[in-house]
Structure 1
């Protein structure tokens, strides 16, 4: 099974696997301003994967910044995650922040990780087991990071790509933000996009918080021979687009521009359209 997404039916059937760990990667605040009624519950037995704090470099002024491999491994071990763990990640919006957590495990070298397609809304719709959110301590795991530096790009590398056109940069933000027709939700940022970028709003890849079928995704996503780079507002929804290309079986080299528009949009000396 390709390490991309699983259905709620798959999770229901494999729920008692002793190596399975379910992670809730929901964020309390999201830039979509979507409000969920599922804030106080989780899939029964789930563990909270705190992207904003435990799994980000909190000393960096940019939000959601990639943590060091050592910090990631330490936080993963604290959640009881082992090198043999099979990990299923979900969030409470269906598909929003869970692909970010998926990508973090991928870049840290852990392959047995999947996103729950439809997330908590799809799980609760089928009346599957949930519980009130509880905070637990877990037996320390033995997770080790095997960092792949090729899966993340810096602003300097993105700037160089404008001229070299080596890779295709895909921006997951809404089209009105991409074309500068509305103000950015974060204060102090310019509107617009990185020159040469292609806009594929992540929302076009989903329907009711569930990924489109593989066939429909393939029809929406351009088939490029070039390496692929992904950006968004702060590196979260870019991972949705990244994962979508993985779902259709695209084997091109892929990387996230981690700073995304939050970094690029505040740099006056950077080009933008």
Structure 2
């Protein structure tokens, strides 16, 4: 299995690779209310990957919803992305929204994509070259989406899994949100979790914005032979947990519940614990 992350050292050594594209998937605001340490800078040559607008279904009432393969393809081409592009994606919080961008490429059938471990803070701390972000236009790419529906789950499939227990559902939110001990950051959502799900807060898998070493991750992440489903607040940090399982070499089928708690928590007919 190909490792889903690369180090800043690796990226620095490969900056001049002709088919390399660096994407900045930072979000201007995040539900974790974390302020980025470095603002108004980007890795030299990076292109902005706008998760909220260009790479979400903005017609959906839910945030960060998976775009159609056609919409994704069009937006990727506008960034100059080709079928043979090697993509490294990062964000300004270390590891946060970059994991979602990685998963979006995976579900659209693009294998050559990696997350930059430690993101912009790690890059800047190594004093590697940064620049002010500028609006740029790129030669149109030839990217083609090859959608993989098996990597995506709906609320109906999650509901069915509560009774069948065919897959393990993992919730990446903080423990207090999972247990319903605090109100949700988004207004109007019930507190608690999907029945039968287990809680692995994404923050437990990271240290200083980087993934823990493989042996430490393996101690935290329970394993069996069932498929793994991942959920969180809105489908962003669920992808961090998914990548962590890839890092320990887990080969089980994996999918993200895209609506996550933002969808589940607002539908009164859906069961909660």
Report the CA distance between 1:38 and its aligned residue: 1.6
Partner of 1:121: helix, strand, or coil?
A: helix
Q: Which residue is 2:88 aligned to?
A: 88
Which shifted more, 206-215 or 31-40?
Answer: 31-40
Give 5+ residue unaligned stretches, structure 1.
none
Distance 1:93 1:36 in 2: 5
Match of 2:147 in 1: 147
Checking the alignment, whether the CA contact within 8 Å between 1:3 and 1:113 is kept in structure 2 is no
Q: TM-score, normalised by structure 2?
A: 0.99
Question: What residue in structure 2 maps to residue 210 of structure 1?
Answer: 210
Alpha-carbon distance in 2 for matches of 1:213, 1:258: 27
Name the counterpart of 2:252. Answer: 252
Partner of residue 98, structure 1? 98
Within 5 Å, give how 1:149-168 maps onto structure 2: 149-168=149-168
Q: Contact between 1:153 and 1:257, CA under 8 Å: does it hold in 2?
A: yes
Q: Distance in 2 between matches of 1:180 and 1:77?
A: 42
Cα distance in 2, alignment partners of residues 159 and 34 from structure 1:
32
CA contact under 8 A between 1:169 and 1:230: conserved in structure 2? yes
> What value does the CA root-mean-square deviation take over the aligned residues?
0.7
* Contact residue 87 and residue 113 of structure 2 kept, 8 A: yes
Q: How far, CA to CA, are the matches of 1:209 and 1:267 in structure 2?
A: 34
Is 1:48 the equivalent of 2:48?
yes
With structure 1 as the length reference, what TM-score do the two structures score?
Answer: 0.99
Aligned residue pairs total: 273
Q: Which residue of the partner structure matches residue 27 of structure 2?
A: 27
Q: Measure, in 1, the Cα distance between the counterparts of 2:110 and 2:3.
A: 10
1:37, CA displacement in angstroms?
3.4
Q: What's the CA shift string for 1:50-102, capped at 9, x where partnerless?
A: 00000000000000000000000000000000000000000000000000000
Contact persistence 1:3–1:111 (CA under 8 A): no
CA drift of 1:3 comes to 4.4
Q: Name the SS for the 2:268 alignment partner.
A: coil
Q: Which residue of 2 aligns with 1:121?
A: 121
Aligned to 1:133: 133
- SS of corresponding position for 1:230: strand
Kindly provide the CA deviation profile for residues 202-248 of structure 1, in whole angstroms up to 9, marking residues without a partner as x.
00000010000111111110012100000000000000001111111
Alignment of 1:221-240 (within 5 A): 221-240=221-240
Between the aligned partners of 1:66 and 1:36, the Cα distance in structure 2 is 25
SS at match of 2:9: helix
Runs (4 or more) in structure 1 with deviation over 2 Å come to: none
Checking the alignment, whether the CA contact within 8 Å between 1:3 and 1:112 is kept in structure 2 is no
Structure 1 residues 34-43 or 261-270, which shifts more?
34-43
Unaligned runs of 5+ in 2: none
Q: CA deviation at 1:39?
A: 1.9
